[in-house]
């Protein structure tokens, strides 16, 4: 459905949003709307527009492909922790996303050119129903849930983030993986023209990650499309990313374009980079320190004193049973 309406946006109305969406990103969106290709209310900043942003009004660009749009109809606090949330500024301003540079503020500064709509995700490999999905077609049939998770970076800092997403298991079910499929591999988009970090040989691009099938199907594992009630910003892995809360942050691969079912443990970017420091599992473990950082403690962003790191990042009750009999010192 087309709503031909030029966006009537007074500059005074933009101010609030400018903290969140960079100006050039805003300009891009405004330009899209101006040619009449998009549903203007989705991108406008007035209250009226927020009300009109139900999924049914999605533009050709789709809902989930556009950054920073309000999401509605999600199940609030489907999973939560009794800890203080990190702020939007912290979550969107302090990121490791080497596709945009090595510094923590690089992703926020240099991700504005990433075009996240249209966005296609290829699901293939050992499954009965391989397909290329537009992101909206992939996500819309599934009930969105808010999942408030701890995120523990391998660099010994952590945050608490209110993600919005869908259980990965639902998507896996739809693809009907065959009995041979024992692992799932994920691939990040490869776009050096829009991702300046990919022009340097920081890692082997594109970024790849993987999970064992039982880890991928675990109820805590989600594909996130939003946080704090809005669709993701590029620095957080827009438009769709993995979140595996009991593993170090780098396992939660961002800006996914491919999900592939395989029968062998797949290559993962950090293991390729340095197999002595990084393992395939990369479960949060205070007792194993393969990397030079001491993993026994962490600093929660926004607090001063270091705190002890919990086994499986505090999710041991839910996930430890998957690893019984596995030597976690060797399989770090």
Partner 1 sequence: MQKAAKVSVFLLCLTPFVWLVTRTLTGRLGINPVEDLELTTGIWSLRFLVLTLAITPVRRVTGWNRLIRYRRMLGLFTFFYACAHFAVYVGVDQYFAFALILKDVVKRPFITMGFTAFVLMIPLALTSTTGWIRRLGKRWQLLHRLIYICGVCASIHYLWKVKVMIGSPVYYAVTVALLLGFRLLWQLRSSKLLKPQRVTA
Residue number, 105 or 267, with CB nearest to partner 1: 105
| Least Cβ distance, residue 4 to partner 1 (angstroms) | 41
Residue number, 26 or 157, with CB nearest to partner 1: 157
Q: What is the binding site for partner 1 (CB under 8 A)? A: 89-90, 93-94, 98, 102, 104-105, 155, 157, 200-203, 273-274, 289, 291-294, 296-297, 299, 301, 304-306
Structure tokens at 49: 């527009």
Residue number, 108 or 258, with CB nearest to partner 1: 108
Answer whether 241's CB lies under 8 Å from 212's CB.
no
CA distance linking residue 311 with residue 313, whole number of Å: 5
Q: Is 299 left (phi over 0), alpha (psi -120 to 50) or beta?
A: beta
| Least Cβ distance, residue 94 to partner 1 (angstroms) | 4
| Least Cβ distance, residue 320 to partner 1 (angstroms) | 26
Answer whether 301's CB lies under 8 Å from 235's CB.
no
Residue number, 10 or 304, with CB nearest to partner 1: 304
Residue number, 28 or 104, with CB nearest to partner 1: 104
- Cα-based distances in Å from 172 to 128, 143, 247, 262: 11, 15, 20, 13
| Least Cβ distance, residue 293 to partner 1 (angstroms) | 8
| Least Cβ distance, residue 88 to partner 1 (angstroms) | 11
Answer whether 295's CB lies under 8 Å from 279's CB.
no
| Least Cβ distance, residue 307 to partner 1 (angstroms) | 11
Residue number, 176 or 204, with CB nearest to partner 1: 204
CA distance linking residue 183 with residue 249, whole number of Å: 19
- Cα-based distances in Å from 123 to 46, 134, 144, 195, 237: 37, 11, 20, 23, 18
Is the peptide bond prior to 194 cis by the omega test (within 30 degrees of 0)? no
| Least Cβ distance, residue 275 to partner 1 (angstroms) | 14
Q: Could you write out the DSSP letters of every residue in 230-265?
A: EEPPGGGTTT-EEE-TTB-GGGS--SEEEEEEESSP
Residue number, 53 or 285, with CB nearest to partner 1: 285
Structure tokens at 212: 């064992």
DSSP state of 266: P
């Amino acid at each position: 459905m087309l709503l031909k309406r030029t966006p009537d946006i007074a500059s005074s109305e933009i101010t609030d949003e400018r903290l969140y969406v960079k100006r050039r990103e805003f300009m891009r969106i405004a330009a899209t709307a101006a040619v009449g290709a998009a549903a203007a209310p989705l991108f406008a900043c007035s209250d009226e527009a927020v009300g009109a942003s139900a999924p049914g009004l999605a533009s050709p660009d789709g809902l989930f492909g556009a950054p920073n749009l309000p999401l509605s109809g999600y199940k609030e606090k489907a999973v939560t922790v009794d800890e203080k949330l990190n702020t939007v500024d912290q979550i969107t301003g302090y990121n490791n996303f080497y596709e945009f540079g090595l510094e923590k503020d690089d992703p926020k500064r240099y991700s504005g050119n990433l075009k996240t709509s249209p966005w296609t995700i290829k699901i293939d490999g050992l499954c009965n129903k391989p397909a290329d999905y537009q992101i909206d077609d992939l996500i819309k049939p599934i009930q969105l849930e808010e999942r408030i998770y701890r995120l523990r970076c391998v660099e010994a800092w952590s945050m608490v983030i209110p993600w919005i997403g869908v259980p990965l298991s639902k998507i896996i079910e739809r693809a009907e993986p065959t009995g041979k499929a024992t692992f799932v591999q994920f691939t990040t988009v490869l776009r050096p023209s829009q991702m300046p970090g990919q022009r340097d040989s920081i890692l082997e691009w594109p970024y790849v990650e993987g999970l064992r099938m039982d880890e991928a199907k675990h109820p805590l594992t989600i594909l996130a499309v939003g946080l704090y009630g809005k669709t993701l910003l590029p620095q957080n892995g827009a438009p769709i990313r993995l979140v595996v809360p009991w593993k170090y942050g780098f396992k939660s691969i961002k800006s996914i374009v491919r999900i592939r079912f395989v029968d062998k443990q797949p290559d993962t970017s950090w293991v390729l980079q340095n197999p002595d420091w990084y393992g395939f599992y990369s479960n949060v473990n205070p007792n194993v320190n393969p990397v030079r950082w001491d993993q026994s403690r962490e600093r929660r962003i926004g607090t001063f004193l270091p705190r002890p790191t919990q086994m499986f990042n505090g999710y041991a009750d839910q996930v430890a049973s998957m690893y019984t009999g596995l030597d976690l010192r060797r399989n770090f």
